[in-house]
Amino acid sequence: MKFYYRNPIIKKRTIERIKKTFQYIDSVGSNLIDTAVVNPMISRITKDAIKLSYFTNGAFDPSIGIISRQWNRFKKPILPDSNRIKRLISLVDYRKILIKGDTLLPGKGQVIDLGGIAKGYALDTAIAIMKSFGIKSGLVNAGGDIKLLGKKYRKSEWMIGLQDPRDKESILDTLKIHSCTVATSGDYERYFIIDGKRYHHLLDPKTGFPSRGCMSVTVISKNGELADGLATAIFIMGPTKGKNFMEKNNIRGIIIDSLKNEIKVGL
C-alpha cells in the first residue's frame, strides 16, 4: 500500500486499520461457502455479486464455487473429470441464492465463491477508511487491482501500467487517471499448462471450463466492486461480446484478446 500523506501518526493508524480489514475480507474471498452463513459483510458482498450477475446475464456468477472446487482452485496441474463438470454445471445459477437479512443461503448443492468481487469491496473499504482520517490523496494496491484517492501529491495524474499478459517485466500501455479503480482479470496469475494448453481460473459459468478469447481485461470504474466483477464478466464474454457490452453500458477499459490485440473502449 502506498500513501501520499505527511502526518506519520495518521498514516500508521490508517495502514493498521486497512491491513486488518484486508485480512478479513481476503479470508471471505478465498474461502468457498457451501452452508448458511450469518454475516452482514458476506451478505452485502453476495447481494452486490447477484446484482452484477443479473447485469451481465450470468457471465459473472458467484455460484461457480462448486466448479472451482473441481479444479482444486488451480493449486495443482490436474484436469477435472469432464463428465462430473457436466453434471455439476446445473448447480451454477445465481438466481437460486437466497439472502434473508444478514443470512446467506446457498441453493441446494451450491457453493458460493466471492473471489471475483471481494477484492474490489476491500479496495472500496480501504479508501473509505483513508477518507475517515482526512486523507485526500493515496493509492491502495490489492494484488494488482488498484484504487486511487484523488490525484497524486502535487496534483498530477496517477500513471498506472498495464501488464503484458505474457511477460511480467513488460508494460503494454499506461493509463493516466485519478479518483477511480483499475481492476484486471487475466489468464496469467492462476493457471497451469498441460500438453501446451493453458487452463486458467476464469471459468465460464455455462461450461465449467476456462473461458477462451481473452488474455486479460482491465476495467476502470469509480466503484471497486463493480470494476473487479466486471473485469471477470467481460473476460468470460470474450472480446467481441465484451466490447459490445462495454460500449452499450459506457464502461471504460481495455481488452487484450488471444492474439494480444489491444481493444480500448472509452479511452
Q: Is 93 exposed, middle or buried (0-12, 13-18, 19+ CB in 10 A)?
A: middle
Structural class in CATH, domain 136-265: alpha beta
Q: What is the pLDDT of residues 106-151, one digit of tens each?
A: 999 999 999 999 999 999 998 998 888 888 888 888 888 999 999 9
Query: Which backbone phi and psi does 54 adopt, to 5 degrees?
Result: -65, -40
Question: Which residues sit opposite 136 in a β-bridge?
Answer: none
Three-state DSSP state, 223: coil
Q: Which amino acid is at 159?
A: M
Q: What is the pLDDT of residues 169-213, one digit of tens each?
A: 999 999 999 999 999 999 998 999 999 999 999 999 999 999 999
By DSSP bridging, strand 112-113 and strand 138-142 are unpaired
Cα(120)–Cα(140) distance, integer angstroms:
11
Cα(201)–Cα(60) distance, integer angstroms:
13
Is the Cβ–Cβ distance between 232 and 116 less than 8 Å?
yes
Q: What Cα–Cα distance (Å) separates residue 13 from each residue in 5, 10, 27, 151? A: 12, 5, 22, 22
What pTM was computed for the model? 0.91
How many residues make up the chain in this entry? 267
pLDDT above 90 for 28: no
What is the Cα 65 distance to its own chain's centre?
15
Domain boundaries, the chain: 136-265
CA atoms within 13 A on the CB side of 267: 20
User: What was the pLDDT predicted at 88?
Assistant: 97
Cα(267)–Cα(265) distance, integer angstroms:
6
User: What was the pLDDT predicted at 3?
Assistant: 46
Over residues 217-236, mean pLDDT: 97
Q: What is the pLDDT of residues 56-102, one digit of tens each?
A: 999 999 999 999 999 988 888 999 999 999 999 999 999 999 999 99
Q: What is the DSSP string of 183-209?
A: EEEESSSSEEEETTEEEES-B-TTTSS
Q: What Cα–Cα distance (Å) separates residue 82 from each residue in 16, 185, 239? A: 45, 24, 25
User: What was the pLDDT predicted at 135?
Assistant: 85
